[in-house]
Amino acid sequence: MKIALITGANKGIGLETARQLAKSGGVQVLLGSRDHARGMEAALKLQGEGLNVTALNLDVTDPASIAAAARAIESEYGRLDILINNAGINPHDGTTKVSEQRLATWREVFETNLFAVIAVTQAFLPLLKKSTAGRIVNLSSVLASMTLHSDPTSGIYDFKIPAYNVSKTAVNAWTVQLAYELRDTPIKVNAAHPGYVKTDMGGPSAPMEIVDGARTSVALALLDAHGPNGAFIHMGEALPW
């Protein structure tokens, strides 16, 4: 039985990722949520579908919460096989101009989208090293791609959402650095672009359904030994950095 932890998993892509991982068979899914009541509600919903899912209180911006969650998993399972850093935010402060976005917004976004990913990964890495095939999946976005943002013919050229985009570019850079460190271990580290999905963040006009938005994370979480390490992936295809 593999043990998987998904952060920010009480709704949206995180919840659907939990559902698909649990349906894959042989995976005990820990549904991380900073709001314990909502996490319990989501876990009960999936349990009602006959799935092996348990709620875990985890606020990724709170060091004490991260440490408590790591202790709980170590005590209960002794290891972690899959970590999906799914939690993320994209607050709107009234401007998309990079020169005008408030510094407070940059700090808020980076705190959750980058620093929390690093903090959570560092806390759980000792447990992942006890796995025979650890997998770390960092939720990124095609909007992180510097190659596409600098190409006037690209479909995302005009989608400049400063703090969010740059935070995800930083997540990609962190992914590459960590993948290099772990290259000679059984652990694989990859970044996933879920797609433009109908979530609270993507909005109702997004072209992809949530069920499809979870597929890339699930595939990277279940990679075999021949799968990529240090890659930026959407639906099995590599994206340009």
Q: Which residues are catalytic?
A: 164
Cα(70)–Cα(122) distance, integer angstroms: 10
Q: How far is CA 171 from CA 20, 87, 175, 198, in A?
A: 24, 12, 6, 22
Both tokens assigned to 162: 């400063």
DSSP string, 58-92: --TT-HHHHHHHHHHHHHHHS--SEEEE-------
- Phi then psi for residue 179, to 5 deg, are -60, -40
- Sort 59 into a burial class: Cβ within 10 Å, 0-12 / 13-18 / 19+: buried
DSSP string, 122-138: HHHHHHHTTSSS-EEEE
